[in-house]
Amino acid sequence: MTTLLTNLKNHRIQADDIDSVVNGEVRYSPAKSLWLGSMLVATLTGGVLTFSWSALLVFLMTTAAALLFGHSLGSHRKLIHDSYQCPRWLEYAFVYCGIQVGLAGPLGLLHQHDLRDYAQRLPKCHEYLRHGSPFWRDAWWQLHCDLHLSNPPQLKIESRIADDRFYQFLERTWMLQQLPLALLLYACGGWGFVFWGSCARVTAGVIGHWLIGYFAHNHGSMHYGVHGAAVQGRNIRFTSLLTMGESWHNNHHAFPGSARLGLFPGEWDPGWWALVVLQKLGLVWEIRLPASLPERPELRARDGVGAIELDRRRRSAAGEDL
């Protein structure tokens, strides 16, 4: 058991018991439910009453920006996985965009991700952590409830993040940080821009994040399997542009530290395209790819070809040296 925990442990997670992510209770979360519920009601009422094509365009633009620069580049590929380096001001800007998705503060989101990541690599974990329930029950759990583990693992966030005053400020005020953009939108286009550029954006971000999480752990194609893991990631091809590349989740389970998620021909990855542009501008460097990550003996090829051939195809598609 000790060896298994050592091999699969997330570097921020400390746990002595493999069942620490199994035993627990799912409880209704009033704050979480009210947050999404209020945004959804505002979208369905105010959004309908104030619809205009310009408001819809604002929704599309603000949602795309929050998902690309915020959730994908800021919260996920940088803050959580540190898969590339950039100036501190740019990291702050990306992470600030990330909280505009409406999921959580930066520290809370990191905690949620790392607990789920750690649990899914073990042989078994709670259904809440692996999206293992039927569709509608998983929706209720993920969108309106929290999991309270009986003996939860301890998360130790590195001081560069945990002690950062800006991140601590965002963690305390992440819901209130919707207000500056809402005020700007009101000044530009009135309530229609607010309902579509703020309320609808948050509603789409929160529900969309759950939807992709559900399908990316239950349905879709697989290049790789992680031997002994409770959950296998799945690639959801038709949502790659909508998710800025985040739906290549099987690739991500195989190489979680890689800044590039679309690894094979035809796997569109807007987040990676943005990183390439930023690298050429000198704003991003030390980008990590699968070839630079430690070997994972538990990784298995799953698409009908040998592991060597699969790796050759991946390297060729990713432009890495063979």
Question: pLDDT by residue (tens digit) across 246-292?
Answer: 999 999 999 999 999 999 999 999 999 999 999 999 999 999 999 88
Average pLDDT in the 68-75 region? 98
Residue 11 is predicted with a pLDDT of 73
The structural domains of the chain, with segments of one domain joined by +, span 14-318
CB-count burial class (<10 Å; 0-12, 13-18, 19+) for 19? middle
Considering the chain, what is the average pLDDT of its residues? 91
Residue 316 has pLDDT above 90, yes or no: no
Terminal C-alpha separation, the chain: 37
Residue range 182-199, pLDDT digits in tens: 999 999 999 999 999 999
pLDDT of 319 reads 58
Q: What is the mean pLDDT of residues 88-111?
A: 97
DSSP state of 148: E
Of the two residues 2 and 117, the one the predictor is more confident about is 117
Helix (H, G, I), strand (E, B) or coil at 85: strand
Question: CA quadruple 254, 260, 261, 263: dihedral positive or negative?
Answer: negative
Task: Say if residue 319 is exposed, middle or buried (CB neighbours under 10 Å; 0-12, 13-18, 19+).
Answer: exposed
pTM value is 0.91
C-alpha atoms less than 13 angstroms from C-alpha of 264 in its C-beta half-sphere = 17
CA–chain centroid gap for 126, Å, is 19
